[in-house]
Amino acid sequence: MYSVFKKIFGKIMRLARSFRAEQARPDDVWAHFYLQTLEFEFYLGIDPRDREHGLRVAKQLLEAHPEAREELIAAAILHDCGKSVRPYHVLERVLVGLIPYGKGAGSRFEPIRVRNQHPQIGAELLRKSGGRLEVARLIEAHHCPQDDEEAQVLHFFDDLE
């Protein structure tokens, strides 16, 4: 029960942080340390709220798993980059966020389509930008990690947010 409340509280806090891009303070210097040059250029194109979220996930993951590979940390930082193909509309994200991930898979409603496909979209964008294939692979698996242990860890810490 406690974890359910914690999760709901976390979602509310994240929503509150989503309202204004100017309020987001992604720690770009920290991100730069874990990303290669082309990945960092790509990272700077992501909405600051998604950058901030990615960094929180990456820092929590690293705190719990100091032995984590650099590719996993980079994937955590960039994992929601696929959402950046669509302008960031807070209310749209809230409404779409209420629908469980994967529902409405065949929907032609653009926000739902982007939400459901953002792992694939993001991985493809990163590959095209010259990012590491291993990082792209982890991004692609971050909502459906199956038996990939690193993707499972990423999914776990993303879910805590």
Binding mask 61-80 for Fe ion (x = CB under 5 A): -------------------x
Could you list the beta-strand ranges (E) of 57-148.
Answer: none
Residue 105 identity (one-letter amino acid)? A
Query: Is residue 120 a contact partner of residue 80, using CB atoms and an 8 Å limit?
Result: no
Query: Is residue 139 a contact partner of residue 81, using CB atoms and an 8 Å limit?
Result: yes
Q: What is the CA radius of gyration of the chain?
A: 15
Q: Which is nearer to Fe ion, 39 or 80 (CB)?
A: 80
Q: Which is nearer to Fe ion, 78 or 132 (CB)?
A: 78
From 39, 47, 150, 158, residue interacting with Fe ion (rule: CB under 5 A) = 158
Segment contacting Fe ion by CB under 5 A, of 58-66, 108-116, 133-141, 151-159: 151-159
Q: Which is nearer to Fe ion, 47 or 80 (CB)?
A: 80
